[in-house]
Structures are given as C-alpha cells and as structure tokens.
C-alpha cells in the first residue's frame, strides 16, 4: 500500500493516551487507549480471572499502576508498527531519560524481524523520538510475598522440563498462560499440578488493527515475550510470586539472520532478561526475580532431558500453525526442528507417535531442513535452536541408525551427504551467562549431570 517513509510522513505521531484497571465480577480488566491521529483509535484489553487466585495485593496500587503502565508501553508496539510514526507521545505517565532509552532499545530490537522483512533500514536512535513527562512513576514500595514460583507455560517441551525440575517445590508452583490452549493446561496436569494452579490471562487485539492489516498497512513480528514478561510480573505481584521462572535456553541468543542482530527471539534472549531484571529493580522497586531456569542449557540438552519425561510426550505442542487446534501441522520448520532435536534420544516409533507421521522421511520439508542447518541465507523465523545444535542432532541420529544397520529416512540420507559435521558437542556445553539464583542451582546440576551421560 504505502512505504515505511510515506506512512511516517502521513501519520507523524502515535499516542499512548491512557490505561485503566477495573475490578468486577471476579476478574481484573486492563484496558489501554492508543491512537494514530487521523487514522485510528485502539483499545485492546486483557482479562485476568481472579476468583480462584490467592490475591494478596491491591490490583490498582501505585506499584500495580506502574506495572500496568509499562505493560501498555509493551502492548503499544503492536499498534505503533502499522505506520511506524517518527514520534511516540505518552500522556498517561512519566519516564526518566534512562527509561526512555530502555524502551527504545526494546522496541527497536523487538521489531528487528519486522524491519528486516519489510525492508526498513533505520537505527535505534533514529527510528522514533519519545515525548513524555520526565520523572519516575510512583510506587509504594510494598510487596507481600507468598513464596510462589510462577512458571509461564507455552505448551512446548521447554516449560515441561522446567516444571519437572521444580518437583521439590511443587506445593508453591503456579503456571501462567496468555490465551490458554489445551496443551498448556495438559502440561500443567502432566506435571501433577491441579488446573486451579494456572494463572490464566486473556489478551485481545483491537479489531481496528486487524482491519489495518487487511488493508495492507505495515505488519509483522513484535516482541510478544516482553508482553508475557510484564503481564506475568503483574500477576506475580498480585499473588505474592517471588520468582518468575522462564524456560528460555541459551540458543535463543543466536541471530536469525547470520551477520546481523535480527533475532526472532530477542525478547527471549539473555540481553532482554538482563534488561528486564534491571527495570523491575530500578523502575518498579520490586524484589520479584525474573530469570530462565534453562538459560544454562541449549536446545539439544533440553531435548535430551525432555525425552526422559514420557508423561509430557502425548500432550506437548510446539507448532504455531496448529496451536489453535492442538495439533502438529507436520509441514512447518518448527515441527521439523522439534522432530530433529528429539531424534537422537527417541526411537523412530516414539517420534511417529508424537507427530503422527515420519517427518524425517518427508521430502517436502527439505527447504526447511536446509534453513535449520544453516545452508540457506537465513534461519526460519521460529523459536528454534542454533545451526550447530541441529547439525549435531542430525549426525547423532545418523550414526545411531547406521550402527543399528537401519535404513536412513530421506532427510537423514540427504543430511549425511550435505550437512557439515558439527565442530562441538552441544551436550557437554554449559552456558555461564544466566541469572539462576543459588536456590535453584540444584535443579541445574541435576539436569546437567543427566545430559552428560549421553
């Protein structure tokens, strides 16, 4: 329809007007007011049912308002991106100069894939200017702890591994989800936690944005995991959650486009985790810890651990295309990646039971395999492991099948001829860049000792 520069000239300002916290009928309703003057108004909302939750903090305290204000700044990027105005005007709160830079960094890197796929060339300092009243959002300095661990659950293998490692803390673990899906509740139940221990939130997209998408305005990937971060923080604050335990691995730090800093998983990266930790401490004055229990590990190590947890195998789902129907589509790069990374640790019949077919014998997936192996210009824009991990998984599986005199399925036969052998063994790696507190290091040691046996 219009180019990035044309739209910026036509619509020079994006406005964050206000946010609202309403409590009624057993739920909290968070609403945000955004606008692009001359084009559209947006009023997205998020609902949090609280009847079954042990709420111990006021949903609209000064601290709660500061968190919700920040959540609005994270939500705003989904609406801002439709026309990418050169100015964001914030009318409902205040930010220090350092905080303005913090948000510009998140928005810029969180939109990295969006800029790349839309052919936009800009810089972190130039793409937007922020007009906001200078100052610090007030907080009350009060936090009522209930000793709870909150675990965001996406329905895939990673959060299942985190839940299994927390078996000794089972009495104080709660799940957290945005727009719940069957695989997420099933994962909680497979971890032997009751369904009542899931903090469910329901986020809606304003139809006005969907209309702009249909009309050809700019669209693309946004940092959804940053929304999970602030929304889970608000819920942890409400129920006295001391820790928010993510399931993001070391592999999330690798760029999706080699030679650039474009990373589909930016808001799952160690950089964002570190930045978010600083923001919670400095801007919100909260002692809630936000960290990934799996950051010391890579995707291959997580797959190794997950393979030993058969209770989760029938229920986990990682496919974005099939998530709403709770199925594996068996046609996308994400499905193939999960199959490849599990293949060294599960026999072919177990993989077929999970996916319903033999993905390693599915030749239409060869282009995706080339991307996963680093034999294309870019990796798939999915939450997947590194090129080195994929190569290592393929070669481990090839050797195992050759040793057993088993015929190689089509994609493994192609890999044997074309995929370079890995230079390192991902199973012996340990990522020291993590924020895992000493309280949880026994979980890390337990898993590391297990995967090193393979």
Beta pairing class for 198-203 and 45-49: antiparallel
Q: pLDDT value at position 238?
A: 98
3-state secondary structure of 20: strand
Q: pLDDT value at position 2?
A: 84
Burial of 449 (0-12, 13-18, 19+ CB in 10 A): exposed
* Helical residues (DSSP H) of 111-223, grouped into ranges: 112-117, 157-165, 182-190, 207-214
- C-alpha span between 130 and 89 (Å, rounded): 6
* Helical residues (DSSP H) of 359-407, grouped into ranges: 366-372, 387-403
Q: Please, which residues have CB within 8 angstroms of residue 132's CB and are 6 or more apart in sequence?
A: 89, 90, 93, 94, 95, 100
Of 26-30, 114-118, 320-324, the least confident: 320-324
Residue 120: CB atoms within 10 A of its CB come to 16
Per-residue DSSP letters for 265-328?
A: TGGGSHHHHHHHHHHHHHTT----EEEETTTTS-HHHHHHHHHT-GGGTTT----STTGGGTS-
Q: What's the half-sphere exposure (Cβ side, CA atoms, 13 Å) at 237?
A: 27
CA distances in angstroms from 158 to 58, 246, 285, 410, listed in the order given: 32, 9, 30, 28
Strand-pair partners of 22 = 29
What is the longest distance spanned by two Cα atoms in the chain? 70
Gyration radius from the chain CA atoms: 22
Percentage, residues of the chain above pLDDT 90:
96
Query: From the centroid of its chain, how far is CA 185?
Result: 17
Dig out the tokens for 74 from the structure: 């994270």
Q: pLDDT value at position 201?
A: 98
Q: pLDDT value at position 423?
A: 86
- C-alpha span between 232 and 69 (Å, rounded): 14
The pLDDT tens digits of the residues spanning 258-311 come to: 889 899 999 999 999 999 999 999 999 999 999 999 999 999 999 999 999 999
- 340 contacts 392 by C-beta, under 8 angstroms: no
The pLDDT tens digits of the residues spanning 209-241 come to: 999 999 999 999 999 999 999 999 999 999 999
3-state secondary structure of 254: coil
Stretch 185-198: mean pLDDT, rounded? 97
Q: Is the pLDDT of residue 1 over 80?
A: no
- C-alpha span between 96 and 255 (Å, rounded): 30
- C-alpha span between 447 and 443 (Å, rounded): 6
**In terms of residues, how long is the chain?**
454
- Site of tokens 């990027």: 77
Stretch 403-424: mean pLDDT, rounded? 95
- 67 contacts 87 by C-beta, under 8 angstroms: no
Q: Is the dihedral of CA 7, 13, 18, 19 positive or negative?
A: positive
Q: Please, which residues have CB within 8 angstroms of residue 349's CB and are 6 or more apart in sequence?
A: none
The pLDDT tens digits of the residues spanning 127-182 come to: 999 999 999 999 998 999 999 999 999 999 999 999 999 999 999 999 999 998 99
Q: pLDDT value at position 323?
A: 87
Q: pLDDT value at position 4?
A: 94
Beta pairing class for 45-49 and 27-36: antiparallel
- Site of tokens 């810089």: 123
Percentage, residues of the chain above pLDDT 70:
100
Residue 60: closest CA among 180, 234, 179, 184: 234
Q: pLDDT value at position 130?
A: 98
- 378 contacts 384 by C-beta, under 8 angstroms: no
- 318 contacts 308 by C-beta, under 8 angstroms: no
Of 80-84, 203-207, 377-381, the least confident: 377-381
The end-to-end CA distance of the chain, in Å, is 54
């Amino acid at each position: 329809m219009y180019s990035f520069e044309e739209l910026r000239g036509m619509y020079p300002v994006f406005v964050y007007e206000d946010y609202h916290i309403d409590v009624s009928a057993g739920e909290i309703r968070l609403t945000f007011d955004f606008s692009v003057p001359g084009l559209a108004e947006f009023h997205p909302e998020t609902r949090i049912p609280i009847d079954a939750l042990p709420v111990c903090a006021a949903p609209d305290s000064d601290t709660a308002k500061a968190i919700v204000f920040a959540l609005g700044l994270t939500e705003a990027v989904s609406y801002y991106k439709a026309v990418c105005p050169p100015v964001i005007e914030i009318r409902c709160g205040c930010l220090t100069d350092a905080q303005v830079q913090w948000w510009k960094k998140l928005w810029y890197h969180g939109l990295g894939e969006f800029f790349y796929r839309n052919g936009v060339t800009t810089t972190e300092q130039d793409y937007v200017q922020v007009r906001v009243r200078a100052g610090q959002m007030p907080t009350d300095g009060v936090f009522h702890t209930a000793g709870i661990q909150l675990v965001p659950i996406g329905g895939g293998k990673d959060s299942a591994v985190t839940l299994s490692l927390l078996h000794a803390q089972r009495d104080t673990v709660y799940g957290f989800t945005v727009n719940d899906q069957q695989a997420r509740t099933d994962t909680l139940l497979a971890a032997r936690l009751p369904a009542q221990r899931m903090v469910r939130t329901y986020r809606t997209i304003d139809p006005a944005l969907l209309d702009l998408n249909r009309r050809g305005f700019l669209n693309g990937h946004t940092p959804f995991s940053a929304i999970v971060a602030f929304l889970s923080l608000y819920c942890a604050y409400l129920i006295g959650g001391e820790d928010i335990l993510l399931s993001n691995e070391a592999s999330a730090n690798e760029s999706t486009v080699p030679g650039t800093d474009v990373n589909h998983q930016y808001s799952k990266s160690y950089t964002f985790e570190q930045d978010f930790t600083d923001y919670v401490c400095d801007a919100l004055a909260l002692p809630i810890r936000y960290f990934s229990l799996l950051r010391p590990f890579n995707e291959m190590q997580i797959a190794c651990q997950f393979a030993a947890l058969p209770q989760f195998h029938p229920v986990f789902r990682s496919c974005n295309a099939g998530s709403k129907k709770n199925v594996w589509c068996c046609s996308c790069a994400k499905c193939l990646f999960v199959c490849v990374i599990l293949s060294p640790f599960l026999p072919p019949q177990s993989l077929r039971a999970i996916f319903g077919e033999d993905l390693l014998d599915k030749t239409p997936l060869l282009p995706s395999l080339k991307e996963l192996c680093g034999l294309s210009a870019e990796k798939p824009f999915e939450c997947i492991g590194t090129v080195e991990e994929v190569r290592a998984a393929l070669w481990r599986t090839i050797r195992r099948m050759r040793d057993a005199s088993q015929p190689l399925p089509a994609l493994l036969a192609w890999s044997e001829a074309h995929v370079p052998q890995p230079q390192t063994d991902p199973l012996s790696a340990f990522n020291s860049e993590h924020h895992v507190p000493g309280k949880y290091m026994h979980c890390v040691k337990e898993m590391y000792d297990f995967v090193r046996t393979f």
